Amino acid sequence: MAEHVFDLEKLNQEFEKKKPEEIIAWALREFSGKIAMSSSFGPESAVLLHMVSRANPATPVLFLETGYHFPETLEYKERLTRLFGLKNIVELTADPKKKAEVVARYQGIPYEKDPDLCCQINKVEPIDRALKDYDAWMSGIRRHQTDFRKSIRIVEEYSTKGGGAPLWAPEDSKGGHGGPPLHKISPLANFTSRELWWYLKEHNIPNHPLSEKGYLSVGCWPCTRPVQDGDDERSGRWAGKAKTECGIHTFMEVKDKEETKEDKKREGPGIRYSSGI
């Protein structure tokens, strides 16, 4: 397995001035054969899907099939798959035994009784298992979406791949890092909602069927509501609860800048920086 070690601070400074398409091209080249993207096929998903499809339509697209999607989302998924010529949609599902136990424990409505556990079973654990097969993961998250996402960097390094347990695991199961890190790339980090809208319009890409009904961000149907005028675009997710993230972007620990610098000192001149844009 190839080792990918970068000067992340320098790389991110460079990428702040690059177009998403340039960042995608770099990522697909740098992590060739070991990179996937994730997509919810929601109202904002089409932009990254379109960009990636133009670079390599065979890129694996990880889709979390929770069993709770709106029919409109599944229809949109099929439509975009055909329209963009996507060749590798990978559907991820929960462990059936574990899901059945949770559904039974909460009388068929785990999303109401314990939404964090529902997300963990149906989203976090499946994507955690899938990402073990990759060295890099592309996501469409943006800084304008939530307070948590304001601080994301375009390229981040996670230190749990291959051995260390994710943050959702019981405390006594957390081991040391046992393999190469996972890099996460967010090419649209700087994109605003207006820029997404213009991109869809410019490329004549259809909107999600629920967009016109006020759904600006769409997840599972039990936990998604239309957005009210003046509210932020993700306010319809888990409305009335403090919860703002399903967990797939928060369950792994990001290496901070100082840790990356210390790693560089320890590893010495073997560190390489690859921009290749």
pLDDT tens figures, 96-120: 999 999 999 999 999 889 988 999 9
Gap between the Cα atoms of 49 and 54, Å rounded: 9
The more confident residue out of 230 and 126 is 126
Would you say the pTM of this structure is higher than 0.85? no
Catalytic residues: 246
Q: Is residue 257 part of a domain?
A: no
Averaged confidence pLDDT in the chain: 81
Show the domain range for 166.
8-252
Q: Is residue 194 part of a domain?
A: yes
Percent of the chain with pLDDT over 90: 51
Question: What DSSP state is assigned to residue 269?
Answer: G
Q: Is residue 259 part of a domain?
A: no
Radius of gyration of the chain (CA): 19
For 49, the token pair is 């899907």
Gap between the Cα atoms of 31 and 182, Å rounded: 11
For 185, the enclosing helix (H) or strand (E) is strand 182-185
The mean per-residue pLDDT over the stretch 139-163 comes to 73
Q: Is residue 260 part of a domain?
A: no
* Residue 86 pLDDT exceeds 80: yes
The more confident residue out of 17 and 259 is 17
The mean per-residue pLDDT over the stretch 167-195 comes to 68
Write the single-letter amino acid at 160: T
Q: Is residue 114 part of a domain?
A: yes
* Residue 8 pLDDT exceeds 50: yes
pLDDT confidence of 178, banded at 50, 70, 90? very low
Q: Is residue 30 part of a domain?
A: yes
pLDDT confidence of 187, banded at 50, 70, 90? very high
Which is it for the CA torsion 221, 128, 160, 52, positive or negative?
A: negative
pLDDT digits (tens, 9 = 90+) for 12-50: 999 999 999 999 999 999 999 999 999 999 988 999 999
pLDDT at 127: 92
pLDDT at 174: 41
Structural domains counted in the chain: 1
Residues 6+ apart with CB under 8 A from 153: 8, 12, 186, 189
Q: In what order do the strands lie in the sheet with 89-92?
A: 89-92, 61-64, 35-38, 136-138, 182-185, 155-158
Look up the CATH number of the domain holding residue 58: 3.40.50.620
Q: Is residue 181 part of a domain?
A: yes
